[in-house]
Amino acid sequence: MEIVHIAIDYDTICKKVLHDQLNGIGLDFTLNQLTEIQFQSPLSDHQKSEMGKALKTYGITLLKDRRQVMVQRIKDAIVELIYDSEKHRKHNVSTFLTQRLNYSYAYLSSQFSEVTHTSIENFIILKKIDAAKQLIIEKNLTLTEIAYRLNYSSVAHLSAQFKKTTGLTPSAFQRIIKKRGEKDIVPKQ
C-alpha cells in the first residue's frame, strides 16, 4: 500500500467546474466572484433549470431568495477574513461585515440567524475550528502556529474553543483522523 498526500486548491476546482458545466450547456458568462455569475443576456427558465441540474452534481446550488444571497455574502466575507490573518488583525468582524455589505450589523445578524439556525458569532467559531482542523491534518502545524494564523490570543484559547466546539481535544482529534487514515476509512468528502 502507498499513501500519496495532496494539496487541493478549492478555488481552482470550483472555477474549472463552473466553466466546464456552463460552457457545456452553451452559456456565456463571466465570474464576478466565486459566488456570483454574470450572464450577457437574461436566462430562460429552461436554461436556469438546466444550469441548476448540471451544477447540483458538484454540490453547487443556485440561490433563490434574497436572504439566502445575503447569508452567502456574509459567509464569503467571514471566510475571507479568517483566511487572511493580516486583515483579520486589523478589522473586527462587525465593522468589516458592515463595510462590505453596507447594512447595519444588527440587520445582518438577524437575517443570518433566521436563515441558518445559528448566529454569525457561532458560525465564525465553527469556521475557524474547521480551518484549525485542516491545518492540524494537512500542514502538521503546531497549535502555537495555528493559534497565530487564526488570530487566537493564545494556544489555551484555541484549545478551549476546539474542545467546546467539537467535544474533543485537538490531540484526540488528530489521533482519530490518523487512525482512520491507517485503516483507510474516509467517511465523508
Partner 1 sequence: MGLDIMKIALADDDVDDRMLFEEAIESIAIKTQLNLFVDGQQLMDHLQKSKLALPEIIFLDLNMPIKNGMQCLQEIRGDQTLRHLCVAIYSTSSSEKDIEETFVQGANIYINKPNSFGALKKAIEKVLKINWQYHTSNLNKGNFLLRI
Angle at 167 between CA 119 and CA 146, to 5 degrees: 75
If one asks whether residue 5 binds partner 1 (CB under 8 A), the answer comes out as: no
Grid coordinates given for 186: 474516509
Exposure of 47 in the CB half-sphere (CA atoms within 13 A): 13
Report how far residue 142's alpha carbon sits from residue 151's, in angstroms, rounded to the nearest whole number: 14
Q: What string of H, E and C letters represents the secondary structure of 98-129?
A: HHHHCCCHHHHHHHHHHHHCCCHHHHHHHHHH
If one asks whether residue 125 binds partner 1 (CB under 8 A), the answer comes out as: no
If one asks whether residue 61 binds partner 1 (CB under 8 A), the answer comes out as: yes
If one asks whether residue 113 binds partner 1 (CB under 8 A), the answer comes out as: no
Residue labelled with grid coordinates 441540474: 53
Q: Which is nearer to partner 1, 89 or 183 (CB)?
A: 183
Grid coordinates given for 3: 499513501
Specify the stretch interacting with partner 1 by CB under 8 A; choose among 36-44, 97-105, 139-147, 167-175. Answer: 167-175
Q: Which is nearer to partner 1, 47 or 122 (CB)?
A: 122
Binding partner 1 (rule: CB under 8 A), the pick from 29, 31, 75, 113 is 75
Q: Name the site residues for partner 1 (rule: CB under 8 A).
A: 10, 61, 63-64, 68, 71-72, 75, 79, 116-118, 123, 126-127, 130, 133-134, 137, 166-168, 172-173, 175-177, 179-180, 183, 185-189
